[in-house]
Amino acid sequence: MSQGKLAGRTAVVTGGNSGIGHAIAVGLARAGADVAVWARNVEKSASVVDEIRALGVKATAVQCDIADEQAVDEAMKRTVEELGSLDCFVANAGIAEAAPITEMTLDTWHRVLRTNLDGGFLCSRAAARQFVAQGTGGSMIVVSSTISRYGGAGQAAYATSKTGLLGLARTLAVELARHQVRCNVLIPGWTRTSMNTHLQADEKFMKVTTSRTPARRWADPEEFYEVAAFLADPTLTFHTGNEIVVDGGYTIF
């Protein structure tokens, strides 16, 4: 067993088989946590699980559509049965669909909000129920986006969903504090992931976003390893209701 600060603890990462979610899952494992990867694509999750197990901790892939209430509850039950009591829950999974507001369909709006916001609610509720039942406290991490700080053309549904998660997380921090459960928000900036490969291929877009970022580059997912471990650290008992922005200075420039 790993002897890191999270040794012997169990963490769940939704959408943990790609992008920032993948990095968070690996970061938690590097700190010693056993990790359950919740995602729809089992094959992709299996690859991440192998990577995590190579770090000397336990890992399991749980197929789950986070917008499906029954699937979420069953995923939590299976996770606890396989890995033991829950110590950290990361609500990371999400989708993005861009369209001008004049052309965005209600179906697109509902699809994005259903996954990102409804899914965030269902997962955090399942985690809260588990934490309260255990009575041993824990950590929740809600992953939002810097778009919760500014407007983005064509991003009405995505921006609304990610901004809504801030309100959810703040409420969780207040409501669950009596149960020794902390809840903080991770707000990543421009990061090189498979979700935005089309943007990375746009030379003009890359030039504009990079020039606006004081660090003058996009982040690599691996830069979230230590951030994840920090937010999950059980010794930080007074750290809750906070928003950790990791964006190279983008939102203050």
Catalytic positions, written as ranges = 145, 158, 162
Backbone φ and ψ for 192, nearest 5 degrees, come out as -75, 100
Classify residue 234 by burial, with Cβ atoms within 10 Å: 0-12, 13-18, 19+: middle
Helix (H) or strand (E) holding 174: helix 156-176
List Cα–Cα distances, 23 to 20, 73, 222, 226, in angstroms: 5, 24, 6, 10
Look up residue 45 and give its two tokens. 């999750």
If phi over 0 gives left and psi between -120 and 50 gives alpha, with beta otherwise, what is residue 184?
beta
Asked if residues 173 and 182 have their Cβ atoms less than 8 Å apart, the reply is: yes
